[in-house]
Each structure stands twice: as C-alpha cells, then as structure tokens.
Amino acid sequence: MLSHIGRSVKGNLRKAERLKQTMHVEIDRVTKIFGTLRANDGVSLSLESGRIYAILGENGAGKSTLMKILSGFMPADSGRILIDGQPAAYDTPAGALARGIGMLHQDPLDVHNLTALENFMLGSPEGLLPDRRTARKRFVEQVQRLGFVLSPDTYVDQLTIGERQQLEIVRLLSLGAKLLILDEPTTGISAEQKDMLFGSLKRLAREAGLTVVLVSHKLEDVEALCDEVYVLRRGRVVGHRTLPQPTSELVALMFGGDVQRAPRVPASRGSIVLQVRDLTIPSRRLVVHNLSLDVYAGEVVGLAGLDGSGQREFVRACAGLQAGSEGRILLDNRPVNGASYHRLASRGVAYAPAGRLEEGLVAGLTVTEHFALVTPGGLWIDYRAVQSVAEERITRYNIRGRPENPVQTLSGGNQQRLLLAMLPSRLKLLLLEDPTRGLDVESTAWVWRQLLDRRNNGTAIVFISPDLDEIMDYSDRIAVFCDGRVTILDDPSTCTVEQLGRLIGGKSA
C-alpha cells in the first residue's frame, strides 16, 4: 500500500512538473504619452513565473496604461517588452495572448448577446467552427477548477460584473495565458467568491507556474494575495517591495504621505423623499418580496448583500429603469410607479451605474461632448459655453484630462469624477451603484466628501457597495438584502462588519 501511495505521489509530482511552464517577462523603460500627459515615464519592472505581483498606485498613476501595453491593447512610444530575455514584438491582444500574456479588464471585454459558452469559444484555435461539445467540457472543467459557478448557457447580458470577470478569467486561461493580468478582479464579487478566486490563483501560481499581476486599489486584497508589489506614482515606479509590509508604508509610497479620512458627521434628517411600500421585484435569480422602506432628505442609506441579491433591481426600480410587479413607489408622496427615468430626472432623481462606460458614459465622445449632453439648451448647443463648463468642472472635480479627451482614455477614477461632475447641482434623490468601484483610497475619500456635501444640503442618497467597510463608514442606515428579503439596520453603530457579514449570509448577527 505504501509503495502504491509513493508511486502515486511521484506520478502527481511529475504531472505537476509537466504542467508547470516558466516564463520571465521584463518591462524595459516603457514610456507612453497622451498629449501633454506622460502616463508612463521610463517604467521598468521584472515578472517571474510562479509569483503574484501587485501594481499599486493612485488613480491616474499609469497602472492600466502600462498593463494595456504589456497585453497588446496599445503600443508604447518607447521601451520594449522582453520574454525570456528576447524582445517580444506584438501589437494586438491576440498577439500578446499568443505569447502567453492575457488581461482581464475592469470592464470585461465580452459580447452581451452571446452565451457564456460562446464567449468562452471566442478566439479558439479551432477556427470558425469549434467543436461545441469539446468546448463545453473544457468550460465546465475550467470553471470547476477555479471554484466558480457559471452556467455555459446563460447570456452575458444576464451576468453580473463579477460573473463576467470570472468568465473572462476562464477564457484567458483556456487559451494558454501564462501571465494573467487582473484589473480590479474582486469588484462585485462576494467575500466567499474572492477567497475561492485567490485560492485558485495561488494554486495555479504554485503548481502550474502561472504569473499573476494584480492591479488594485484594495490594499487588503494585495496583502492577502501578492508576493511582491510595484508602486507607481505619476507614471514612474517609486517603490518595489516584497510582502508583507506595513500598510502605512504602501500608502505613503502611493500618495507621498498618509491619507486622512474626514470625521463622520451624523445625518440631520428632513422629510421623507422616497417611500417604497410592499414592493415586489422579479429578477433572473430571485424575487424581492414585499420590500418597504422610507428614505429621508439628508441621509445616506447603504444597500448590502451578496451580488445578485436584489439590491441592483431595487435601485433601478426606484430610478424608473425596471418595473416592479406589485407594490408602490412614491416620490414626495406622489406615486411614480411606471414613470420613466427621464420623468424622474426632471423631478430631481439621478442614477449613477457601476458600469461607467456601459451605462454612464458614451465611449467615443469627448469630455466636452458629455457636458453638452447634460446642458439644457434645446436643439442648439453653444459649444463655447459648454467647453467653458467642461474646463470649470475639470478643475473643480480634479479630473486628470482635457476637454477634448475621449472618455475611454480617462482612468477609471477620472471617469467616476466625470460622472459626478455631470450630475445636476440640486437633487432630491441620488441612487448610486458601487460609487467607488476601482478607486484608490484618496479618490474614494474625495468621492465621499462630494456625496456627503450633497447629503448635508438635503439630498437623499441610496448606494450599493460590495465593500462592507464602506457600507459601515458612510451609511446612516443599512438595508441588508438576503434571499429576496430585506432587513433594516436603523443604527449601524450598533453592528460590526462581522455581524453585517453574517446578516448578508442569512445568519443572525
């Protein structure tokens, strides 16, 4: 028996060695310039097989630009990529993937009217007519290997952002990625899903020699997953550390000093702005049953729950973007069931989605053109006046960009700032879906200063966030969504993050 076990162990080790593929990648003095902005300024770093790296930096530091160059989405103006010591010439994502480098973007690049399996098959080496049965088997095996829960027959437009990220990871690994770049991969997924993802990535790095590069603003994710960290500031590498390191040192490298959070000021509630009574909302996973909630002027209500628990459907129903099957929604004590988003917007309601380039902004339009879209003026647009507004808002909201820049060239944090800059100055109700998605510590604090200023001026704010610390820090009340039911916490100060997590999981606090 012992000899049999020994042979089995040796066989598994030999199999692991065969599966393990090494690849050394160097970024050598890479520079990328957009107009007057040096997004990357002579960046050099080294990536070894079987290691997990973090690329840290404030929003606009050049992290995403550098990773887009490495993954073939854009060319460098100067510098080079070396693979195993040899210059690697490629100028497309397919070319990078052929060399073993794949990237998962913060907003996954998928096709919404195809199923998960059909997206998985995109780029298949089998050509235009791959064997669906074989592809399906590979899909299921890869999903199970990573601990995900994805149906091959679900259409992508029915998946959450977290599930779309998982689908892209599965696809890239199946196409032979040896170096996997992940841009904010934990946004929109539960703590349990994150633990499974991190466990899978660590196992793939250790057993198969996968190199992982994590681009993230979440220091807790970096500390939980990564072996090494490179820190960028204003396009340059300002530090390289082996983890673990004190969090304060990483923050100081990112921002040049510690980031101070403003003290929490309790809300001063006014009259009821939004009344929801016995609302039932059908969704693809479950039905939100008999939800009742009052939201007051001058307060922040945080919506907590696992991804897909109904909080997004609730917010969209309140914004006029999704219908409920039963119940009532009242704004200023007047029924608005079935009202369009346009009608609700005219009455002081605004909605900011998590998918910035999918629902909030229009790729291909400039910053100035976005302000033209939200500036009253009828059929005629005074572009000189609109450009003046754009310049003023760029300064006021500290957007790193120019009026003529297309919005897709802005970093995620600057896109979020632009969305906030486009909101009307006076609002009764502001509905937000993950308002700090993909933002660094400093940008998150800045966003919440703007939102709390609105709250202090009487705006009622309802927001969704997968970050329980954010929910606890900024909510005056919390609505916890679980299995289609909602529990209201009127005093978050009496609850801990751990207790909130138990409620989200369907357990008593």
> Poorest-confidence range of 11-20, 88-97, 238-247, 324-333?
11-20
Q: Answer whether 206's CB lies under 8 Å from 128's CB.
A: no
pLDDT for the residue 451: 92
Whole-number Å distance between alpha carbons of 102 and 99: 9
The percent of the chain in helix, strand and coil, each rounded to the nearest 5, is 40, 25, 40
Residue 412 predicted with pLDDT over 80? no
What percent of the chain has a predicted confidence (pLDDT) above 90? 28
Residue 309 predicted with pLDDT over 90? no
Q: Which residues contact 302 (CB under 8 A, 6 or more apart)?
A: 463, 464, 465, 470, 471, 474, 475, 477, 478, 479, 492
pLDDT for the residue 8: 37
**What pairs with residue 56 in β-bridges?**
231
pLDDT for the residue 43: 94
At 13, is the pLDDT very low, low, confident or very high (cuts 50, 70, 90)? Answer: very low
How does pLDDT run across 435-460, given as a tens digit for each residue? 887 677 777 888 888 899 999 999 99
Q: Answer whether 212's CB lies under 8 Å from 205's CB.
A: yes
Mean pLDDT, rounded, for 272-293: 80
pLDDT for the residue 216: 79
Mean pLDDT, rounded, for 222-233: 91
Mean pLDDT, rounded, for 23-51: 90
At 260, is the pLDDT very low, low, confident or very high (cuts 50, 70, 90)? Answer: low
At 28, is the pLDDT very low, low, confident or very high (cuts 50, 70, 90)? Answer: very high
Q: Answer whether 172's CB lies under 8 Å from 12's CB.
A: no
Query: According to CATH, where is 3.40.50.300 located in the chain?
Result: 23-255, 260-348+426-509
Element (H, E) at 470: helix 468-474
Q: Residue 480 to residues 273, 291, 505: CA-CA distances in angstroms?
A: 20, 11, 10
At 304, is the pLDDT very low, low, confident or very high (cuts 50, 70, 90)? Answer: confident
The fold for domain 23-255 equals: Rossmann fold (3.40.50)
Pairing of strands 334-335, 228-233: unpaired
Mean pLDDT, rounded, for 481-491: 82
Which CATH code of 3.40.1160.10, 3.40.50.12240, 3.40.50.11270, 3.40.50.300 fits the domain covering 260-348+426-509? 3.40.50.300
